[in-house]
């Protein structure tokens, strides 16, 4: 049963073929067997999981079950979950038991979904390989010597290894899409503002967005239906009527205009990734889609712009971690200033400190205009490129990541090499657009390749439709890593 | 413009992060690489462009002026490093 999709699990629960308690036991046993080698989960708590599972079974018996009642999932450890250790992958929060639920967690709980545990991640979501976690790296189930991507690496690897049928993730510069691509699963970053950020530990607030990670496009829609919705506690949460994101799955893609930005197929893209992505686009052509050559001329500036704006927002957001009200406090200090400085020096890892220093520097007196304001102006140019492009096409396609999964440690020495892993995903966050990644093939080393699909604002249902139609005629999304059943 | 050790130390102080000499030197080397990337931005003339701070043009909503959350001090202080009598304790600030 652990190889079933959300849709199949939902049907099995509804038909009485299994109970939520049975399902939960099956996943917990798998996690207990495999987590040591994969490192997907920071926290599992079987008793807590089973309390939810029993409640879900009782709710079903009482006739008030929803589509996902009793279905287990994993939450990225960036989401506060009442009573659960919530670390954000950091020593700073290694003792932080959340006193409340994030909106996303609350909505999943209200739907009757069952929390299997909290997944590993790059510290404070800053990373593209899951190697910056205080709790150790996550390994890619397709090859244990390679990274799963990041920052939602634990969620991605857990779904790929069938330790959870779906998981939540967050995406500030590619942190859902890139790990989804590197582990051969599906991931969707919704339009900014669709999913509440309440209780989601902030990295860069104008870019952070939560989304679903699962095995199929249809499953992404089922989970997004639960996760999305207005929340007055997040001032950027949009007030929009509820929608069924799977309503258009059956729509044919004949006539779909696919924009292919020339910048997505330029230098830096590895030949195996290019071949797989082009094959996927050929498949769409066979289904009747038309291809449109487009250009996003400012896209190559998205990485430098991002590494001004995201660290600037992070340096402000992470100033709250001071060792006073919660989190790590240094054991020894001379005065209050020394307590702040030592607690933060000990509590944060190298990458987080690096980004706080970048952000502090670009916001400091004398540099603010040259860096921060300059980057905000370029952000507008990057967003305008997309507005122009969507006059010519319905969706944009290209690679999610320039490479497949790289080896652990391969990019650790040079931060810039690591940052360039997100060259195709970052612009989408800067513009606030929805983007997703679906599996579309393998490289010569049998590592998965992801196809990125970018939609216009609020076009999630159309994107899921486009992805679903591809998954009806291909089976990349059904492949499992070696030894995984 | 080249970043200096003093720039790193000043940013670390502003960010309230203790750094020793070896850490500051290491940070300088890495930040120099990152600023090499960031400087690519300066090639574009943006004098006529308005800064974009956010993806959505939102105005801050106002809510009704009424109490919506009760006092949860005891619950929140359960996870505090040091508390006494309902207060968070820090080293003495005023002599």
Q: Using one digit for the tens of pLDDT, what is the confidence trace for A84-96?
A: 999 999 999 999 9
Chain A interface includes B46 (CB < 8 A): yes
In a domain, residue B65? The reply is: no
Q: How far is A204 from chain B (nearest CA, A)?
A: 11
**What's the rounded Cα separation, in Å, for the pair A20 and A244?**
24
Q: How far is A278 from chain B (nearest CA, A)?
A: 29
pTM score > 0.90 for this model?
yes
In a domain, residue B25? The reply is: yes
What ipTM does the predicted assembly reach?
0.95
Chain A CB contacts of B53 under 8 Å are: 206, 376
Q: Does B15 contact A373 at a Cβ distance shorter than 8 Å?
A: no
Give the residue-averaged pLDDT of A268-276.
96
Q: Does B18 contact A308 at a Cβ distance shorter than 8 Å?
A: no
Chain B CB contacts of A381 under 8 Å are: 44, 46, 49
Q: Does B55 contact A383 at a Cβ distance shorter than 8 Å?
A: yes
Point out the least confidently predicted range of A58-72, A293-307, A423-437, B52-66: B52-66
Residue A477 has pLDDT above 70, yes or no: yes
Predicted confidence at residue B1, as pLDDT, reads: 62
Residue A275 tokens read as 């071949």
Q: Is 3.30.1360.120 the CATH classification of the domain at A6-256?
A: no
Classify residue A168 by its DSSP letter.
Answer: E
The share of chain A scoring above pLDDT 70, in percent, equals 100
Residue A284 tokens read as 């769409």
Which residue from A148, A197, A122 is spatially nearest to A355, judged by alpha carbons? A122
Distance between first and last Cα of chain B: 43
Which residue from B14, B56, B76, B83 is spatially nearest to A383, judged by alpha carbons? B56
Residue of A nearest to B74 (CA): A99
Predicted confidence at residue A80, as pLDDT, reads: 98
In a domain, residue B61? The reply is: no
Q: What would the pLDDT profile of A355-400 be if each residue is shown by its tens digit? A: 999 999 999 999 999 999 999 999 999 999 999 999 999 999 999 9
Predicted confidence at residue A86, as pLDDT, reads: 98
Strands A114-119 and A72-76: parallel
Q: Which residues of chain B have pLDDT under 50?
A: none
Q: What is the DSSP string of A193-237?
A: TSS--TTBPPSSTTT-EEEEEESSHHHHHHHHHHH----TTSTT-
Give the residue-averaged pLDDT of A159-184.
98
In a domain, residue B89? The reply is: no
Chain A CB contacts of B86 under 8 Å are: none
Q: What is the DSSP string of A98-127?
A: -SS--HHHHHHHHTT-EEEEEE--SGGG--
SS3 A371: helix
In a domain, residue B72? The reply is: no
**What's the rounded Cα separation, in Å, for the pair A2 and A162?**
6
Name the residues of A annotated as catalytic: 76, 151, 175
The mean pLDDT of chain A is: 97
Residue A426 has pLDDT above 90, yes or no: yes
Which residue from A360, A382, A374, A352 is spatially nearest to A313, judged by alpha carbons? A360
Q: What is the DSSP string of A24-38?
A: HHHHHHHHHHHHHHH
Chain A interface includes B31 (CB < 8 A): yes
Residue A419 burial by Cβ neighbours in a 10 Å radius (0-12, 13-18, 19+): buried
Residue of A nearest to B64 (CA): A232
Select from A319, A333, A336 the Cβ nearest to the Cβ of B93.
Answer: A336
**What's the rounded Cα separation, in Å, for the pair A405 and A181?**
9
Other CB atoms within a 10 A radius of the CB of residue A365 amount to 6
Residue of A nearest to B6 (CA): A361
Point out the least confidently predicted range of A266-270, A340-344, A404-408: A266-270
Select from A232, A236, A345 the Cβ nearest to the Cβ of B63.
Answer: A232
**What's the rounded Cα separation, in Å, for the pair B27 and A118?**
31
Give the residue-averaged pLDDT of A456-475.
98
Q: Does B38 contact A342 at a Cβ distance shorter than 8 Å?
A: no
CA A387 to chain CA centroid, Å, is 24
What b/e string do you get for A206-224 counting C-beta neighbours within 10 Å, with b at 16 or more? bbbbbbbbbbbbbbbbbbb
Range of the domain at B25: 5-42
Predicted confidence at residue A2, as pLDDT, reads: 82
Q: How far is A420 from chain B (nearest CA, A)?
A: 10
Structural domain tally of chain B?
A: 1
- Chains A, B: CB contacts within 8 A come to 165
A386 CB contacts (<8 Å, ≥6 apart)?
A: A296, A396, A427, A431, A433, A454, A456
Residue whose tokens read 């509590």: A347
Q: What would the pLDDT profile of A315-325 be if each residue is shown by its tens digit? A: 999 999 999 99
A219 CB contacts (<8 Å, ≥6 apart)?
A: A5, A6, A7, A165, A166, A186, A212
Sketch the domain layout of chain A as residue ranges: 6-256
Other CB atoms within a 10 A radius of the CB of residue B47 amount to 5
In a domain, residue B49? The reply is: no
């Amino acid at each position: 049963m652990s190889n079933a999709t959300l849709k199949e699990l939902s049907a099995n629960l509804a038909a009485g073929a299994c109970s939520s308690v049975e399902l939960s036991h099956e996943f917990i046993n798998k996690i207990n067997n495999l987590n040591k080698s994969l490192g997907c989960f920071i926290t599992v708590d079987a008793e807590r999981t089973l309390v939810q599972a029993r409640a879900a079974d009782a709710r079903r018996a009482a006739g008030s079950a929803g589509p996902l009642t009793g279905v287990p999932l994993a939450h990225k450890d960036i989401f506060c979950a009442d009573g659960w250790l919530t670390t954000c992958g950091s020593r700073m929060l290694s003792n932080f038991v959340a006193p409340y639920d994030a909106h996303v967690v609350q909505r999943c709980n209200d739907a009757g979904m069952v929390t299997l545990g909290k997944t590993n991640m790059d510290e404070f979501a800053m990373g593209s390989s899951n190697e910056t976690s205080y709790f150790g790296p996550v390994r890619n189930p397709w090859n244990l010597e390679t990274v799963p991507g990041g920052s939602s690496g634990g969620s991605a690897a857990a779904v790929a290894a069938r330790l959870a049928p779906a998981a939540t993730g967050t995406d500030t510069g590619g942190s859902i899409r890139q790990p989804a691509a590197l582990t051969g699963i599906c991931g969707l970053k919704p339009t900014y503002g669709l999913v509440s950020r309440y209780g989601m530990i902030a990295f860069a607030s104008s870019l952070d967005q939560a989304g679903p990670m699962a095995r199929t496009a249809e499953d992404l829609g089922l989970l997004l239906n639960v996760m999305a919705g207005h929340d007055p506690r997040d001032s950027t949460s949009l007030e929009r009527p509820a929608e069924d994101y799977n309503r258009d799955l059956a729509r044919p893609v004949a006539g779909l205009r696919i924009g292919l930005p020339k910048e997505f197929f330029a230098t830096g893209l590895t030949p195996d990734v290019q071949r797989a992505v082009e094959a996927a686009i050929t498949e769409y052509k066979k289904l009747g889609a038309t291809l449109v050559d487009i250009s996003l001329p400012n896209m190559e500036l998205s990485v430098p712009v991002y590494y001004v704006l995201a660290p600037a927002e992070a340096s402000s957001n992470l100033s709250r971690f001071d060792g006073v009200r919660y989190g790590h406090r240094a054991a020894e200090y001379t005065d209050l200033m020394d307590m702040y400085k030592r607690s933060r020096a000990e509590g944060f890892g190298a990458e987080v400190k690096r980004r706080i220093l970048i952000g502090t520097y670009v916001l400091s007196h004398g540099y603010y205009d040259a860096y921060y304001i300059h980057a905000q102006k370029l952000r507008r140019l990057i967003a305008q490129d997309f507005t122009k492009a969507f006059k010519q096409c319905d969706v944009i396609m290209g690679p999610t990541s320039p490479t497949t999964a790289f080896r652990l440690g391969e990019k650790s020495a040079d931060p810039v090499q690591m940052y360039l892993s997100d060259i195709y995903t970052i612009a989408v966050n800067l513009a606030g657009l929805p983007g997703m990644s679906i599996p579309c093939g393998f490289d010569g080393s049998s590592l998965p390749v992801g196809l990125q699909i970018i939609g216009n604002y609020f076009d999630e249902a159309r994107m899921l439709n486009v992805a679903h139609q591809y998954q009806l005629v291909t089976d990349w999304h059904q492949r499992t890593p070696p030894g995984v059943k | 413009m080249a970043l200096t050790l003093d720039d790193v130390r000043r940013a670390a102080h502003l960010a309230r992060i203790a750094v020793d000499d070896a850490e500051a030197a290491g940070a300088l080397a890495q930040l120099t690489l990152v600023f090499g990337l960031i400087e690519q931005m300066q090639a574009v003339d943006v004098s006529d462009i308005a800064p974009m701070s956010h993806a959505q043009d939102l105005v801050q909503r106002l809510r009704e002026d009424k109490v919506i959350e009760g006092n949860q001090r005891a619950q929140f202080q359960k996870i505090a490093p040091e508390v006494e009598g309902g207060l968070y304790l820090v080293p003495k600030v005023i002599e």
